[in-house]
């Protein structure tokens, strides 16, 4: 495990992931009944943007930095909620801190909700405990998400969200391990909402990833993508994506409205673009004579 999120906290991909996350949590909170939030790759919850890792890459400047500037002229409600959450930390502790997904989720949770956070790296799991354990109804597991998730679901609340946000050290070629994890989790908890973050570096890999997802036969899969650079640029991270399984009603439209604002806010590149599309909208049970799905690896 070489990946450390400290170098990337607050970058454009974090901004988009965290704004979408707040949107999903907001829709869960529209009902009074409790929900369970599960973060499979939680990280350490809070990141010091003044520390050497973040200062070495300065990635937060082209993410959080640009969003703050653009929001000075007004922003969609979810972006304003996200910026408010970021500034809340500034009023609670000195320095320049950025909230990770578990911090955002436990702070959005109501008294009746519960959060389960998994993080495998011992140092990050320790920091995560320091940063979020004062909140009620939070359990933290230093555990491998690939066995932990299926052991912990379905939660007793019966409704909730699983955020799957791996570092893609092994998953990068075709995202197969993450699709296998989704398949197993969905079989145990088909009504749960799943949000899977993924990096966009090479569009052939994304095509294979979507084919694998379609071939699972899981219904209601929404794919969202925001690219700040052309999708085949060889230099590094071109875009950020989020798969949402069982999204809330009209979440596709929410994502479209957000991306229409976020894309020019995050990039000046003329080929910056976004896409929101359904992979499997409804239960695709094969009607008689329907074509066999294309093999995952074709």
Instruction: Extract the tokens encoding 93.
Output: 């502790």
In the list 23, 34, 167, 247, the residue contacting ligand SAM (rule: CB under 6 A) is 167
- Binding of residue 171 to ligand SAM (CB under 6 A): no
Q: By CB under 6 A, how many residues form the interface with ligand SAM?
A: 20
The 3 state secondary structure assigned to 79-116 is HHHHHHHHHHHHHHCCCCEEECHHHHHHHHCCCCCEEE
Q: How far is the CB of 290 from ligand SAM (least distance, A)?
A: 36
What are the φ and ψ backbone dihedral angles of 275, each rounded to 5 degrees?
Answer: -150, 140
188 or 281, CB closer to ligand SAM? Answer: 188
Active-site pick, 14, 113, 124, 165: 165
DSSP labels for 180-199? HHHHHHHHH-TTSEEEEEEE
Asked if residue 223 lies in contact with residue 275, where contact means CB atoms within 8 angstroms, the answer is yes
Task: Give the helix ranges, DSSP H, for 189-250.
Answer: 203-215
**Residues 14-53, mask of contacts with ligand SAM (x by CB under 6 A):** ---x---------------------x-xxx----------
Asked if residue 77 lies in contact with residue 71, where contact means CB atoms within 8 angstroms, the answer is no
In angstroms, rounded to a whole number, what is the distance separating the alpha carbons of residues 218 and 196?
A: 14
In the list 50, 88, 95, 144, the residue contacting ligand SAM (rule: CB under 6 A) is 144
Instruction: Based on the residue annotation, tell me whether 165 is a catalytic residue of this protein.
Output: yes
124 or 174, CB closer to ligand SAM? Answer: 124
Chain residues binding ligand SAM by CB under 6 A are 1, 3, 5, 17, 39, 41-43, 100-101, 118-121, 124, 144-146, 165, 167
Catalytically active residues are: 165
């Amino acid at each position: 495990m070489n990946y450390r999120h400290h170098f990337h906290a607050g970058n454009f991909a974090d901004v988009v992931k965290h704004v979408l996350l707040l949107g999903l949590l907001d829709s869960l909170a529209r009902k009074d009944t409790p929900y369970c939030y599960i973060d499979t790759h939680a990280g350490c919850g809070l990141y010091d943007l003044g520390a050497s890792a973040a200062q070495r890459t300065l990635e937060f400047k082209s993410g959080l930095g640009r969003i703050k500037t653009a929001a000075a002229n007004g922003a969609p409600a979810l972006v304003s909620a996200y910026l408010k959450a970021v500034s809340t930390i500034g009023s609670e502790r000195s320095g320049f801190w950025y909230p990770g997904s578990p911090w955002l989720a436990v702070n959005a949770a109501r008294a009746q909700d519960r959060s389960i956070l998994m993080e495998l790296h011992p140092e990050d799991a320790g920091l995560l405990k320091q940063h979020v354990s004062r909140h009620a109804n939070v359990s933290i597991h230093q555990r491998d998400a690939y066995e932990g998730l299926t052991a912990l679901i379905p939660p007793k609340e019966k409704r909730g969200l699983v955020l799957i946000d791996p570092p893609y050290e092994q998953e990068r070629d075709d995202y197969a391990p993450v699709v296998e994890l989704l398949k197993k989790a969905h079989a145990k908890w088909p009504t749960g909402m799943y949000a899977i973050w993924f990096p966009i570096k090479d569009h052939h890999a994304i095509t294979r990833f979507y084919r694998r997802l379609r071939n699972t036969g899981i219904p209601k899969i929404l794919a969202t993508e925001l690219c700040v650079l052309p999708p085949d640029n060889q230099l590094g991270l071109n875009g950020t994506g989020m798969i949402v399984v069982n999204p809330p009603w009209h979440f596709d439209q929410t994502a479209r409205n957000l991306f229409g604002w976020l894309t020019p806010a995050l990039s000046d590149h003329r080929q910056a673009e976004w896409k929101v599309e359904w992979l499997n909208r409804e239960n695709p049970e094969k009607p008689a004579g329907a074509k066999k799905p294309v093999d995952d690896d074709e």
